[in-house]
Copies of this chain bind each other. A is one copy, B any other.
Amino acid sequence: MSEDSLFLRKLERFVSFSDDERALLKHHTRRTVQMPAKREIASEGQDPQYVHLIVSGFASRQKILEDGDRQIVAYLVPGDFCDLHVFILREMDHAISTLTPCTVAQLDSDDIAILCERPAIAKALWWSTLVDQSILREWLVNVGRRSAEERIAHLFCELMTRLRSVGLVDSENRFLLPVTQTELADTLGLTVVSVNRMIRNLRNQGMIALEGKQIVVRDVERLKAFSGFTDNYLHLDEKPPQRRGDRVAREEARNLSSV
Protein backbone atom coordinates (compact mmCIF):
# COMPACT_ATOMS: atom_id res chain seq x y z
CA MET A 1 0.00 0.00 0.00
CA SER A 2 1.34 3.36 -0.93
CA GLU A 3 2.21 5.89 1.72
CA ASP A 4 -0.59 8.26 0.80
CA SER A 5 -3.35 5.86 1.70
CA LEU A 6 -2.26 4.59 5.07
CA PHE A 7 -5.39 6.09 6.53
CA LEU A 8 -7.41 3.75 4.31
CA ARG A 9 -5.63 0.80 5.80
CA LYS A 10 -6.41 2.12 9.25
CA LEU A 11 -10.08 2.84 8.63
CA GLU A 12 -10.60 -0.46 6.86
CA ARG A 13 -9.77 -2.28 10.04
CA PHE A 14 -13.16 -1.08 11.11
CA VAL A 15 -15.40 -0.70 8.07
CA SER A 16 -15.34 -2.14 4.57
CA PHE A 17 -15.22 0.38 1.77
CA SER A 18 -16.35 -0.09 -1.78
CA ASP A 19 -13.89 0.77 -4.56
CA ASP A 20 -16.01 3.80 -5.07
CA GLU A 21 -15.63 4.96 -1.49
CA ARG A 22 -11.93 4.29 -1.53
CA ALA A 23 -11.58 6.43 -4.62
CA LEU A 24 -13.64 9.18 -3.03
CA LEU A 25 -11.45 9.18 0.06
CA LYS A 26 -8.31 9.28 -2.01
CA HIS A 27 -9.68 12.09 -4.11
CA HIS A 28 -10.64 14.33 -1.24
CA THR A 29 -7.33 13.88 0.54
CA ARG A 30 -5.22 14.64 -2.49
CA ARG A 31 -4.47 18.24 -1.53
CA THR A 32 -1.38 18.00 0.67
CA VAL A 33 1.22 20.36 2.09
CA GLN A 34 4.73 19.72 3.30
CA MET A 35 5.59 20.98 6.76
CA PRO A 36 8.95 21.15 8.51
CA ALA A 37 9.42 19.77 12.03
CA LYS A 38 8.23 21.72 15.06
CA ARG A 39 5.71 23.80 13.17
CA GLU A 40 2.13 24.36 14.23
CA ILE A 41 -0.52 22.76 12.03
CA ALA A 42 -3.23 24.41 14.11
CA SER A 43 -2.91 26.79 17.02
CA GLU A 44 -4.74 27.14 20.30
CA GLY A 45 -7.46 29.75 20.22
CA GLN A 46 -7.75 29.53 16.48
CA ASP A 47 -10.93 29.01 14.48
CA PRO A 48 -9.55 26.52 11.99
CA GLN A 49 -10.43 26.19 8.31
CA TYR A 50 -9.30 22.67 7.55
CA VAL A 51 -9.41 19.17 8.84
CA HIS A 52 -5.91 17.73 8.62
CA LEU A 53 -4.78 14.20 7.93
CA ILE A 54 -1.24 13.03 8.59
CA VAL A 55 0.03 11.38 5.43
CA SER A 56 3.60 10.93 6.59
CA GLY A 57 5.59 11.99 9.63
CA PHE A 58 4.68 12.36 13.29
CA ALA A 59 2.75 15.17 14.91
CA SER A 60 1.39 15.84 18.37
CA ARG A 61 -1.51 17.42 20.11
CA GLN A 62 -0.21 19.58 22.92
CA LYS A 63 -1.07 22.12 25.55
CA ILE A 64 1.35 24.70 26.89
CA LEU A 65 1.00 25.92 30.49
CA GLU A 66 1.63 29.44 31.70
CA ASP A 67 5.05 28.48 33.04
CA GLY A 68 6.06 27.11 29.64
CA ASP A 69 5.61 23.48 30.63
CA ARG A 70 4.23 21.33 27.89
CA GLN A 71 1.94 18.34 27.97
CA ILE A 72 1.57 16.27 24.85
CA VAL A 73 -1.90 14.75 24.88
CA ALA A 74 -1.75 12.72 21.68
CA TYR A 75 0.61 11.41 19.05
CA LEU A 76 -0.64 11.69 15.52
CA VAL A 77 0.90 9.07 13.29
CA PRO A 78 0.49 8.47 9.56
CA GLY A 79 -3.15 7.75 8.80
CA ASP A 80 -4.51 9.80 11.72
CA PHE A 81 -6.96 12.66 11.38
CA CYS A 82 -5.98 15.63 13.55
CA ASP A 83 -9.06 17.65 14.13
CA LEU A 84 -12.32 16.16 12.99
CA HIS A 85 -14.01 18.13 15.75
CA VAL A 86 -13.43 21.56 14.27
CA PHE A 87 -16.83 21.79 12.67
CA ILE A 88 -18.53 21.48 16.03
CA LEU A 89 -16.08 22.94 18.55
CA ARG A 90 -15.08 25.97 16.66
CA GLU A 91 -12.23 27.17 18.84
CA MET A 92 -9.10 25.05 19.21
CA ASP A 93 -8.36 24.40 22.88
CA HIS A 94 -4.94 22.98 22.11
CA ALA A 95 -2.32 23.13 19.40
CA ILE A 96 -1.34 20.57 16.82
CA SER A 97 2.33 20.61 16.06
CA THR A 98 4.62 18.57 13.88
CA LEU A 99 7.29 16.53 15.61
CA THR A 100 9.03 15.67 12.35
CA PRO A 101 8.68 16.97 8.83
CA CYS A 102 5.18 15.96 7.75
CA THR A 103 3.03 15.61 4.71
CA VAL A 104 -0.40 16.78 5.70
CA ALA A 105 -3.61 16.54 3.71
CA GLN A 106 -6.05 19.43 4.09
CA LEU A 107 -9.76 18.76 3.86
CA ASP A 108 -12.14 21.66 3.78
CA SER A 109 -15.74 21.82 4.81
CA ASP A 110 -16.90 20.65 1.36
CA ASP A 111 -14.61 17.63 1.33
CA ILE A 112 -15.95 16.51 4.68
CA ALA A 113 -19.52 17.11 3.57
CA ILE A 114 -19.12 14.97 0.50
CA LEU A 115 -17.31 12.21 2.33
CA CYS A 116 -19.88 12.11 5.09
CA GLU A 117 -22.65 11.49 2.60
CA ARG A 118 -21.36 7.95 2.53
CA PRO A 119 -22.52 6.11 5.64
CA ALA A 120 -19.49 3.86 5.75
CA ILE A 121 -17.13 6.82 5.59
CA ALA A 122 -19.00 8.88 8.16
CA LYS A 123 -19.03 5.95 10.48
CA ALA A 124 -15.33 5.32 9.99
CA LEU A 125 -14.51 8.94 10.78
CA TRP A 126 -16.53 8.86 13.98
CA TRP A 127 -14.92 5.58 14.89
CA SER A 128 -11.56 7.23 14.52
CA THR A 129 -12.39 10.11 16.85
CA LEU A 130 -13.90 7.75 19.40
CA VAL A 131 -10.75 5.64 19.35
CA ASP A 132 -8.74 8.82 19.91
CA GLN A 133 -10.88 9.45 22.95
CA SER A 134 -10.28 5.95 24.19
CA ILE A 135 -6.53 6.36 23.78
CA LEU A 136 -6.76 9.54 25.80
CA ARG A 137 -8.42 7.64 28.64
CA GLU A 138 -5.66 5.08 28.64
CA TRP A 139 -3.00 7.80 28.67
CA LEU A 140 -4.64 9.27 31.75
CA VAL A 141 -4.43 5.86 33.41
CA ASN A 142 -0.82 5.68 32.32
CA VAL A 143 0.34 8.93 33.89
CA GLY A 144 -2.03 8.66 36.81
CA ARG A 145 -1.30 5.18 38.02
CA ARG A 146 1.83 3.70 36.51
CA SER A 147 5.52 4.09 37.41
CA ALA A 148 7.92 5.93 35.13
CA GLU A 149 9.29 2.70 33.69
CA GLU A 150 5.84 1.21 33.15
CA ARG A 151 4.62 4.37 31.43
CA ILE A 152 7.35 4.21 28.84
CA ALA A 153 6.86 0.51 28.27
CA HIS A 154 3.14 1.02 27.87
CA LEU A 155 3.55 3.84 25.39
CA PHE A 156 5.91 1.73 23.31
CA CYS A 157 3.38 -1.12 23.30
CA GLU A 158 0.66 1.22 22.16
CA LEU A 159 2.72 2.78 19.40
CA MET A 160 3.85 -0.60 18.17
CA THR A 161 0.23 -1.68 17.95
CA ARG A 162 -1.00 1.48 16.28
CA LEU A 163 1.84 1.60 13.80
CA ARG A 164 1.40 -2.07 13.01
CA SER A 165 -2.20 -1.39 12.07
CA VAL A 166 -0.98 0.89 9.29
CA GLY A 167 1.85 -1.44 8.32
CA LEU A 168 4.73 0.55 9.80
CA VAL A 169 6.19 -2.23 11.97
CA ASP A 170 8.45 -4.90 10.51
CA SER A 171 8.54 -8.60 11.30
CA GLU A 172 11.04 -8.07 14.09
CA ASN A 173 8.80 -5.59 15.90
CA ARG A 174 10.92 -2.70 14.73
CA PHE A 175 9.39 0.71 14.11
CA LEU A 176 10.46 4.30 13.71
CA LEU A 177 9.80 6.57 16.66
CA PRO A 178 11.19 9.95 15.60
CA VAL A 179 10.72 11.79 18.89
CA THR A 180 13.26 13.06 21.38
CA GLN A 181 13.42 11.93 24.98
CA THR A 182 12.32 15.42 25.97
CA GLU A 183 9.17 14.90 23.96
CA LEU A 184 8.60 11.53 25.58
CA ALA A 185 8.97 13.23 28.94
CA ASP A 186 6.38 15.84 28.00
CA THR A 187 4.09 13.02 26.96
CA LEU A 188 4.40 10.92 30.07
CA GLY A 189 4.50 13.56 32.79
CA LEU A 190 8.17 12.90 33.51
CA THR A 191 11.53 14.62 33.07
CA VAL A 192 14.10 13.85 30.40
CA VAL A 193 16.42 12.47 33.01
CA SER A 194 13.87 9.95 34.18
CA VAL A 195 12.94 8.95 30.69
CA ASN A 196 16.56 8.38 29.82
CA ARG A 197 17.17 6.19 32.87
CA MET A 198 14.02 4.16 32.48
CA ILE A 199 14.67 3.51 28.81
CA ARG A 200 18.09 2.29 29.84
CA ASN A 201 16.44 -0.07 32.32
CA LEU A 202 14.16 -1.47 29.65
CA ARG A 203 17.15 -1.98 27.37
CA ASN A 204 19.23 -3.60 30.09
CA GLN A 205 16.42 -5.99 30.84
CA GLY A 206 16.32 -7.01 27.19
CA MET A 207 12.77 -5.88 26.60
CA ILE A 208 13.64 -3.33 23.95
CA ALA A 209 16.59 -2.20 21.88
CA LEU A 210 17.29 1.07 20.13
CA GLU A 211 18.62 1.41 16.62
CA GLY A 212 18.91 5.09 16.03
CA LYS A 213 15.40 6.42 16.02
CA GLN A 214 14.03 2.94 15.63
CA ILE A 215 12.72 0.88 18.51
CA VAL A 216 12.91 -2.87 18.47
CA VAL A 217 10.66 -4.66 20.90
CA ARG A 218 12.70 -7.73 21.71
CA ASP A 219 10.26 -9.36 24.07
CA VAL A 220 6.72 -8.32 23.26
CA GLU A 221 5.02 -10.46 25.88
CA ARG A 222 7.28 -9.30 28.66
CA LEU A 223 6.90 -5.64 27.70
CA LYS A 224 3.12 -5.99 27.63
CA ALA A 225 2.97 -7.85 30.92
CA PHE A 226 5.33 -5.41 32.59
CA SER A 227 3.34 -2.38 31.53
CA GLY A 228 -0.11 -3.91 31.83
CA PHE A 229 -0.85 -3.34 28.17
CA THR A 230 -3.88 -4.81 26.48
CA ASP A 231 -5.01 -3.57 23.10
CA ASN A 232 -8.75 -3.58 23.79
CA TYR A 233 -8.86 0.20 24.08
CA LEU A 234 -7.62 0.60 20.52
CA HIS A 235 -10.74 -1.17 19.20
CA LEU A 236 -8.84 -2.68 16.32
CA ASP A 237 -10.76 -5.91 15.97
CA GLU A 238 -14.19 -4.50 15.38
CA LYS A 239 -14.64 -5.58 11.79
CA PRO A 240 -13.33 -9.14 11.50
CA PRO A 241 -15.78 -10.80 13.92
CA GLN A 242 -18.74 -9.00 12.28
CA ARG A 243 -20.59 -9.96 15.39
CA ARG A 244 -23.66 -7.91 14.81
CA GLY A 245 -23.71 -8.00 11.06
CA ASP A 246 -23.40 -5.24 8.57
CA ARG A 247 -27.10 -4.58 8.41
CA VAL A 248 -27.33 -3.65 12.07
CA ALA A 249 -24.15 -1.65 11.92
CA ARG A 250 -25.41 0.41 9.03
CA GLU A 251 -28.69 1.01 10.74
CA GLU A 252 -26.89 2.32 13.77
CA ALA A 253 -24.72 4.52 11.67
CA ARG A 254 -27.85 6.03 10.20
CA ASN A 255 -29.17 6.65 13.69
CA LEU A 256 -26.10 8.57 14.60
CA SER A 257 -26.34 10.91 11.73
CA SER A 258 -29.25 12.53 9.94
CA VAL A 259 -28.31 15.92 11.31
Binding site for B on A (CB under 8 A): 45, 47, 61, 63, 65-66, 69-71, 73-74, 85, 87-91, 93-94, 109, 112-113, 116-117, 119, 122-123, 126-127, 129-134, 136-141, 143-146, 188-189, 228, 232-233, 235, 238, 243-244, 252-259
Contacts and interface: CB of A to CB of B under 8 A. Distances in A.
Nearest to A14: B88
B255 A145 contact: no
A137 B259 contact: no
Contacts of A255: 87, 109, 112-113, 116
Contacts of A90: 238, 243-244
Contact of A71 (B70, B122, B133, B145): B145
A235 B93 contact: yes
A55 B146 CA distance: 34
B137 A89 contact: no
A143 B189 contact: yes
Contacts of A47: 243
3 nearest interchain CB pairs?
A257-B259, A144-B189, A257-B257
11 contacts: A47-B243, A69-B145, A71-B144, A89-B127, A94-B137, A116-B255, A119-B259, A143-B143, A144-B188, A145-B189, A258-B258
